[in-house]
Amino acid sequence: MSDKIKHFPGEQLKGSDIREGRIPVVKHRPNVKYLWSAGVAMSRFLEGLKECKIVGSTCKKCSRTMVPPRAFCEQCFKPVDGYTYVKDTGTINTFSVSYVAGDASRIKEPILVAVIDLDGASKGMGILHLLGEIDDWKQIKFGMKVKAVWKHPEERTGTITDIKYFRPLKEV
Protein backbone atom coordinates (compact mmCIF):
# COMPACT_ATOMS: atom_id res chain seq x y z
CA MET A 1 0.00 0.00 0.00
CA SER A 2 1.26 3.44 -1.01
CA ASP A 3 1.52 6.31 1.44
CA LYS A 4 -0.25 8.36 -1.26
CA ILE A 5 -3.45 6.40 -0.70
CA LYS A 6 -5.68 7.26 2.22
CA HIS A 7 -8.83 5.26 1.49
CA PHE A 8 -8.75 1.47 1.74
CA PRO A 9 -11.73 -0.26 0.13
CA GLY A 10 -13.36 -3.36 1.56
CA GLU A 11 -16.17 -3.67 4.13
CA GLN A 12 -15.39 -6.26 6.75
CA LEU A 13 -18.08 -8.72 7.83
CA LYS A 14 -18.22 -11.34 10.55
CA GLY A 15 -18.69 -14.96 9.53
CA SER A 16 -21.88 -14.94 11.59
CA ASP A 17 -23.25 -12.01 9.54
CA ILE A 18 -23.28 -14.38 6.56
CA ARG A 19 -24.22 -17.65 8.29
CA GLU A 20 -27.10 -16.09 10.22
CA GLY A 21 -28.35 -14.11 7.25
CA ARG A 22 -27.88 -10.63 8.75
CA ILE A 23 -26.90 -9.49 5.27
CA PRO A 24 -28.55 -10.60 2.03
CA VAL A 25 -27.08 -13.95 0.95
CA VAL A 26 -27.89 -16.62 -1.62
CA LYS A 27 -27.21 -20.26 -0.90
CA HIS A 28 -26.65 -23.12 -3.33
CA ARG A 29 -25.22 -26.61 -3.28
CA PRO A 30 -24.41 -28.00 -6.72
CA ASN A 31 -25.48 -31.59 -7.24
CA VAL A 32 -22.78 -32.89 -9.55
CA LYS A 33 -21.27 -36.38 -9.54
CA TYR A 34 -18.30 -37.83 -11.39
CA LEU A 35 -17.26 -41.25 -12.65
CA TRP A 36 -13.61 -41.30 -13.66
CA SER A 37 -12.14 -43.87 -15.99
CA ALA A 38 -8.91 -44.93 -14.29
CA GLY A 39 -7.09 -44.81 -17.62
CA VAL A 40 -4.58 -47.02 -19.38
CA ALA A 41 -1.86 -47.23 -16.74
CA MET A 42 -3.80 -46.77 -13.52
CA SER A 43 -6.31 -49.47 -14.50
CA ARG A 44 -3.43 -51.96 -14.29
CA PHE A 45 -2.43 -50.51 -10.94
CA LEU A 46 -5.94 -50.86 -9.50
CA GLU A 47 -6.28 -54.42 -10.86
CA GLY A 48 -2.96 -55.25 -9.20
CA LEU A 49 -4.13 -53.98 -5.83
CA LYS A 50 -6.91 -56.59 -5.83
CA GLU A 51 -4.14 -59.23 -5.85
CA CYS A 52 -1.95 -57.50 -3.24
CA LYS A 53 0.47 -56.38 -5.94
CA ILE A 54 1.80 -52.89 -6.63
CA VAL A 55 2.28 -52.19 -10.33
CA GLY A 56 4.91 -49.80 -11.65
CA SER A 57 5.99 -48.97 -15.17
CA THR A 58 9.47 -48.84 -16.67
CA CYS A 59 11.23 -46.56 -19.11
CA LYS A 60 14.46 -47.94 -20.59
CA LYS A 61 15.59 -44.55 -21.86
CA CYS A 62 15.84 -42.90 -18.42
CA SER A 63 16.16 -46.26 -16.59
CA ARG A 64 13.32 -45.46 -14.20
CA THR A 65 10.85 -47.82 -12.55
CA MET A 66 7.94 -45.53 -11.76
CA VAL A 67 5.13 -45.73 -9.22
CA PRO A 68 2.36 -44.83 -9.78
CA PRO A 69 2.63 -46.36 -13.25
CA ARG A 70 2.10 -44.14 -16.27
CA ALA A 71 1.35 -44.96 -19.86
CA PHE A 72 4.09 -42.57 -21.01
CA CYS A 73 7.32 -41.30 -19.46
CA GLU A 74 6.78 -37.61 -18.76
CA GLN A 75 10.54 -36.92 -18.99
CA CYS A 76 11.40 -38.87 -22.15
CA PHE A 77 7.93 -38.23 -23.59
CA LYS A 78 7.61 -41.68 -25.09
CA PRO A 79 5.48 -44.74 -24.24
CA VAL A 80 6.73 -46.73 -21.25
CA ASP A 81 8.53 -49.97 -22.13
CA GLY A 82 6.43 -52.15 -19.85
CA TYR A 83 4.85 -52.78 -16.50
CA THR A 84 6.39 -54.52 -13.52
CA TYR A 85 5.69 -55.32 -9.90
CA VAL A 86 7.45 -53.44 -7.13
CA LYS A 87 7.47 -54.59 -3.50
CA ASP A 88 4.90 -53.72 -0.87
CA THR A 89 7.68 -52.68 1.50
CA GLY A 90 9.43 -49.35 1.60
CA THR A 91 11.02 -46.53 3.54
CA ILE A 92 9.45 -43.45 5.13
CA ASN A 93 10.63 -40.44 3.12
CA THR A 94 8.59 -37.93 5.12
CA PHE A 95 5.55 -38.02 7.39
CA SER A 96 3.00 -35.86 9.14
CA VAL A 97 0.36 -36.18 11.82
CA SER A 98 -3.00 -34.68 10.94
CA TYR A 99 -5.48 -33.39 13.50
CA VAL A 100 -7.68 -31.81 10.82
CA ALA A 101 -10.15 -33.37 8.40
CA GLY A 102 -10.79 -32.25 4.83
CA ASP A 103 -13.36 -29.64 5.87
CA ALA A 104 -10.85 -28.18 8.41
CA SER A 105 -12.84 -29.66 11.33
CA ARG A 106 -10.72 -31.13 14.12
CA ILE A 107 -10.24 -34.82 14.85
CA LYS A 108 -9.11 -36.39 18.15
CA GLU A 109 -7.26 -39.46 16.88
CA PRO A 110 -4.67 -38.12 14.45
CA ILE A 111 -4.30 -39.52 10.93
CA LEU A 112 -0.69 -40.61 10.31
CA VAL A 113 0.36 -39.70 6.78
CA ALA A 114 3.57 -40.52 4.92
CA VAL A 115 5.36 -40.53 1.61
CA ILE A 116 6.78 -44.05 1.32
CA ASP A 117 9.59 -44.81 -1.12
CA LEU A 118 8.76 -48.32 -2.37
CA ASP A 119 11.37 -51.07 -2.63
CA GLY A 120 11.95 -52.13 -6.21
CA ALA A 121 11.06 -48.74 -7.65
CA SER A 122 13.66 -46.14 -8.62
CA LYS A 123 15.15 -44.02 -5.87
CA GLY A 124 12.73 -41.41 -4.57
CA MET A 125 9.67 -43.01 -6.17
CA GLY A 126 7.27 -42.53 -3.28
CA ILE A 127 3.56 -42.91 -2.83
CA LEU A 128 1.26 -41.15 -0.41
CA HIS A 129 -0.37 -43.43 2.13
CA LEU A 130 -1.33 -43.82 5.77
CA LEU A 131 0.64 -45.38 8.63
CA GLY A 132 -0.86 -47.72 11.23
CA GLU A 133 -0.06 -50.06 14.15
CA ILE A 134 1.87 -47.24 15.80
CA ASP A 135 0.88 -46.38 19.38
CA ASP A 136 2.67 -43.06 19.63
CA TRP A 137 3.51 -41.05 16.53
CA LYS A 138 6.79 -39.99 18.12
CA GLN A 139 7.97 -43.52 17.32
CA ILE A 140 7.85 -42.74 13.61
CA LYS A 141 11.29 -42.04 12.15
CA PHE A 142 12.55 -40.86 8.78
CA GLY A 143 14.04 -43.85 6.97
CA MET A 144 11.93 -46.34 8.92
CA LYS A 145 11.13 -49.55 7.01
CA VAL A 146 7.41 -50.20 6.56
CA LYS A 147 5.19 -52.83 4.91
CA ALA A 148 1.69 -52.65 3.44
CA VAL A 149 -1.20 -54.12 5.41
CA TRP A 150 -3.82 -55.30 2.92
CA LYS A 151 -7.54 -55.64 3.32
CA HIS A 152 -9.04 -59.14 3.19
CA PRO A 153 -9.57 -60.45 -0.37
CA GLU A 154 -13.35 -60.06 -0.23
CA GLU A 155 -12.97 -56.41 0.87
CA ARG A 156 -10.56 -55.44 -1.90
CA THR A 157 -12.24 -53.49 -4.68
CA GLY A 158 -9.34 -52.20 -6.72
CA THR A 159 -8.74 -48.86 -5.01
CA ILE A 160 -5.72 -47.35 -3.27
CA THR A 161 -7.46 -48.07 0.03
CA ASP A 162 -7.12 -51.84 -0.62
CA ILE A 163 -3.93 -51.15 1.30
CA LYS A 164 -5.28 -50.27 4.75
CA TYR A 165 -2.03 -48.61 5.76
CA PHE A 166 1.69 -49.28 6.08
CA ARG A 167 3.02 -50.66 9.38
CA PRO A 168 6.58 -50.64 10.75
CA LEU A 169 8.48 -53.75 9.64
CA LYS A 170 10.03 -54.05 13.10
CA GLU A 171 8.03 -53.70 16.29
CA VAL A 172 8.05 -50.17 17.70
Partner 1 sequence: MKMFGKKRVAVIGAGMTKFRRHLKETGKELAWEASKMALDQAGLELKDMQSVVMGTAPDAFDGVHMKGEYLADGAGAWHKPYSRVFVGGGTGVFVTDAGWWHVASGQFDTCLVVGEEKMSSCYPHPAYAFTTIFDPIFSRPLGVTLIWIFALEMHRYMHVHGIKKEEIALVSVKNKRNALDHPCAQLGANITVEDVLNSEVMCWPVQRLDISPTSDGAAALVLASEDVAKKLTDNPVWIDGVGWCIDSTFWTNRDLYYPKYVQCAAQMAYKMAGIKNPPKEIDVAEVYDPFDYKELHHMEGLMLARKGQAPKLTAEGITQRDGDLPINPSGGLLGVGNPIAAAGTMKCCEIFWQLRGEAGKRQVKGDPRTGLAQAWGDLMQYGSVVVMRS
Contact flag: residue 14 with partner 1 (CB under 8 A): yes
**Nearest C-alpha neighbor of 114 from the set 156, 84, 147, 87:** 147
CA atoms within 13 A on the CB side of 90: 29
Alpha-carbon distances of 25 from 11, 15, 28, 75, 119, rounded to whole Å: 15, 12, 10, 48, 54
From candidates 31, 33, 36, 136, binder to partner 1 by CB under 8 A = 36
**77: contact with partner 1 by CB under 8 A:** no
Convert residues 117-146 into a mask of x (bound to partner 1 by CB under 8 A) and - (unbound): -------xxxxxxx------x----x----
Omega of the bond leading into 79 within 30 degrees of 0 (cis): no
Point out which residues bind partner 1 (CB under 8 A).
1-5, 8-15, 17-19, 23, 28, 30, 34, 36, 38-39, 42, 45-46, 66-68, 70, 74, 93-105, 110-111, 113-115, 124-130, 137, 142, 159-161
